[in-house]
C-alpha cells in the first residue's frame, strides 16, 4: 500500500536514528557495546517502596508533580539558576523537552545554530519541524565565539542549541570565559539560548559547570535537564526550566502532546532525589565512571598509541576518537560488529556535511565492565590496524 500521499514532507525526509537502530544489538548478551549512551544498570539504585510515595493513580497536572518540581527548583538553584514552580515543566525525558521547544519556536522559516558535531537526536527533532540547522565550529573550550558571531550575522537564526557540559559526542566542557563570551554575544544579538545539560553530575575533574543561562542578562533562554543519566532512564523523566514568558506556551503544547508525564515515575524520582541517599549515589556514579573512563583512556593508549587522537573527557560518558588517515568509521563499525563489538560512527552527529565526518568514532565507557572494555578495545584496535594496511 502506498501511503506517501498521507505523509508530511518532513516525515518522509526524516532519517532514522542510527543509535536507536543499533540498540537492539547492544541488548544481545554476546555483544560488547561501546555505542549507545546507556548508563550502567549495575549502578542504578532500587526503586523506592510504593507505600512511601504520593498516590499517583489519577490524572495529574500537565506541568508535573508538585513534589518533583520543588526538587528541581532546589537542584537548579544550586547551579545558580533561581526560578519558581511555575517555570518548571516535567517532560518524558529531555528528548520530549526538545520536541516541545521545537514545536514552540521552530518552523520552515527558522534557522537554529548548533555545535558541529552535536547530539544527533536534537537534529532529528529540529528537522522534523522543517528548521534549517547550521553547525558552528567548536573546539575543546566550546563553540567558537567568532564563528558564532559570523553565523548569527549571516543566517539570522532564531535560536542557538548548546551542550556546554561534557558535550555529546565530543565530551568537551566549555571554559568559563567561553561561557561568558557566548552569553554576552547572545545578549547583544537577542538570540534564544536552548541549553541542554544532562551530563553535569557525571563530573570527574574540577571544571567549570556554570549554566550559560545564568550569565544571560537580556536574551531569552530555555534550560533542560534529565534524570536519565543518574537514575532510571526507563522512567523517561526530564525537565525544562524557562524564563517566565515561555512557561504558559510550553504547558499548552505539553497538554496537546500527552496530557502529562507518568506520575508514578515522577514520584519515585522526587522521593529518591529528596532523600539522603541521593548525594551518596552521585558520588558512587562519579567514582565508578571515572574508573571506567581512566581504563578506556589507558586501553586506547596501550592498544593504538599515536595512531588515533582523543582527549580524555572531564566528565560524561564518551570519548571522541579520531581515526587514522584514510580509515572509514563506517567500515570500522561493520568490521567490529562481525567480531561482536559495537561502535558508533561519527557521521550522524554532523548537522552539515563535513570533509572529515567519516573520520570519527564515539565510544561510550559507561556500561561495560573493566574486563569487557579491555577486550572490546583490543578487538577494536585489531580492526583499525587491519583497515590501515
Q: Are residues 63 and 23 in the same domain?
A: no
Decide: 229 and 317 in contact? Cβ < 8 Å: yes
Give the mean pLDDT of the chain: 94
**Residue-range definition of the domain harbouring residue 71:** 51-273
Residue 22 pLDDT > 90, yes or no? Answer: no
Which of 231, 248, 273 is the last residue before a domain boundary? 273
Q: Are residues 121 and 98 in the same domain?
A: yes
Of 307, 284, 279, which is closest to residue 382 (Cα–Cα)?
A: 307
Q: Are residues 141 and 199 in the same domain?
A: yes
Q: Are residues 198 and 306 in the same domain?
A: no
Q: What are the percentages of helix, strand and coil residues in the chain, rounded to 5?
A: 45, 15, 40
Q: Are residues 247 and 292 in the same domain?
A: no
pLDDT reported for residue 58: 96
Confidence grade of residue 1 (pLDDT, cut at 50, 70, 90): confident
Q: Using one digit for the tens of pLDDT, what is the confidence trace for 165-183?
A: 999 999 999 999 999 999 9
CATH number of the domain that 211 lies in?
Answer: 3.40.640.10
Decide: 37 and 318 in contact? Cβ < 8 Å: yes
Q: Are residues 117 and 251 in the same domain?
A: yes
Q: Using one digit for the tens of pLDDT, what is the confidence trace for 46-96?
A: 999 998 899 999 999 999 999 999 999 999 999 999 999 999 999 999 999
Q: Are residues 220 and 334 in the same domain?
A: no
Which of 249, 273, 297 is the last residue before a domain boundary? 273
Which of 207, 238, 273 is the last residue before a domain boundary? 273
As a whole number, mean pLDDT of residues 133-141 equals 95
Q: Are residues 258 and 309 in the same domain?
A: no
Q: Which residue has the higher pLDDT, 358 or 354?
A: 358
Q: Quote the number of domains for the chain.
A: 2
Q: Are residues 229 and 358 in the same domain?
A: no
Q: Are residues 224 and 244 in the same domain?
A: yes
| Run of H or E residues at 155 | helix 145-155
Q: What distance in Å separates the CA atoms of residue 197 and residue 195, rounded to the nearest whole number?
A: 6
Q: Are residues 173 and 217 in the same domain?
A: yes
The proportion of the chain whose per-residue pLDDT surpasses 90, expressed as a percent, equals 89
Q: Are residues 210 and 264 in the same domain?
A: yes
Q: What distance in Å separates the CA atoms of residue 298 and residue 96, rounded to the nearest whole number?
A: 36
Confidence grade of residue 24 (pLDDT, cut at 50, 70, 90): low
As a whole number, mean pLDDT of residues 243-260 equals 96
As a whole number, mean pLDDT of residues 338-356 equals 91
C-alpha cell at 136: 558552528
Q: Can you state the angle between helices 277-304 and 263-273, rounded to 10 degrees?
A: 90
Q: What distance in Å separates the CA atoms of residue 135 and residue 110, rounded to the nearest whole number?
A: 14
Q: What distance in Å separates the CA atoms of residue 328 and residue 150, rounded to the nearest whole number?
A: 31
Q: What distance in Å separates the CA atoms of residue 370 and residue 348, rounded to the nearest whole number?
A: 28
50-59, 265-274, 372-381: lowest mean pLDDT where?
50-59
Q: Using one digit for the tens of pLDDT, what is the confidence trace for 97-136?
A: 999 999 999 999 999 999 999 999 999 999 999 999 999 9
Confidence grade of residue 223 (pLDDT, cut at 50, 70, 90): very high
Decide: 133 and 159 in contact? Cβ < 8 Å: no
Amino acid at each position: 500500500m502506498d501511503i506517501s500521499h498521507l505523509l508530511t514532507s518532513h516525515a518522509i525526509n526524516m532519517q532514522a536514528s542510527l543509535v536507536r537502530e543499533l540498540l537492539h544489538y547492544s541488548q544481545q548478551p554476546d555483544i560488547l557495546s561501546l555505542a549507545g549512551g546507556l548508563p550502567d544498570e549495575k549502578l542504578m539504585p532500587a526503586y523506592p517502596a510504593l507505600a512511601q510515595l504520593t498516590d499517583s493513580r489519577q490524572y495529574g497536572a500537565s506541568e508535573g508533580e508538585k513534589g518533583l518540581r520543588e526538587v528541581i527548583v532546589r537542584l537548579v538553584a544550586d547551579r545558580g539558576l533561581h526560578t519558581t514552580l511555575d517555570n518548571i515543566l516535567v517532560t518524558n525525558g529531555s528528548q520530549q523537552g526538545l520536541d516541545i521547544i521545537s514545536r514552540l519556536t521552530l518552523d520552515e522559516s527558522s534557522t537554529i545554530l548548533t555545535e558541529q558535531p552535536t547530539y544527533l537526536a536534537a537534529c532529528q527533532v529540529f528537522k522534523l519541524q522543517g528548521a534549517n540547522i547550521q553547525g558552528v565550529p567548536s573546539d575543546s573550550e566550546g563553540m567558537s565565539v567568532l564563528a558564532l558571531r559570523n553565523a548569527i550575522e549571516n543566517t539570522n537564526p532564531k535560536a542557538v542549541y548548546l551542550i556546554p557540559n561534557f558535550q555529546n559526542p565530543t565530551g568537551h566542557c566549555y571554559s568559563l570565559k567561553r561561557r561568558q563570551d557566548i552569553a554576552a554575544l547572545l545578549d547583544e544579538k537577542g538570540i534564544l539560548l536552548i541549553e541542554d545539560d544532562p551530563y553535569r553530575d557525571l563530573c570527574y575533574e574540577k571544571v567549570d559547570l556554570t549554566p550559560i543561562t545564568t550569565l544571560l542578562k537580556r536574551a531569552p533562554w530555555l534550560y533542560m535537564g534529565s534524570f536519565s543519566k543518574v537514575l532510571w532512564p526507563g522512567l523517561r523523566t526530564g525537565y525544562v526550566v524557562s524564563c517566565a514568558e515561555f512557561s504558559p506556551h510550553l504547558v499548552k503544547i505539553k497538554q496537546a502532546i500527552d496530557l502529562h508525564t507518568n506520575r508514578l515515575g515522577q514520584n519515585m524520582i522526587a522521593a529518591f532525589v529528596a532523600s539522603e541517599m541521593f548525594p551518596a549515589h552521585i558520588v558512587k556514579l562519579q567514582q565508578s565512571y571515572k574508573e571506567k573512563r581512566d581504563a578506556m583512556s589507558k586501553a586506547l593508549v596501550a592498544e593504538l598509541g599515536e595512531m588515533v587522537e582523543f582527549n580524555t573527557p572531564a566528565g560524561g560518558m564518551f570519548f571522541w576518537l579520531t581515526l587514522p588517515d584514510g580509515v572509514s568509521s563506517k567500515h570500522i563499525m561493520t568490521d567490529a560488529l562481525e567480531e561482536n563489538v559495537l561502535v558508533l560512527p561519527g557521521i550522524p552527529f554532523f548537522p552539515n556535511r563535513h570533509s572529515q565526518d567519516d573520520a570519527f568514532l564515539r565510544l561510550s565507557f559507561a556500561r561495560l565492565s573493566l574486563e569487557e572494555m579491555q577486550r572490546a578495545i583490543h578487538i577494536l584496535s585489531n580492526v583499525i590496524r587491519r583497515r590501515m594496511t
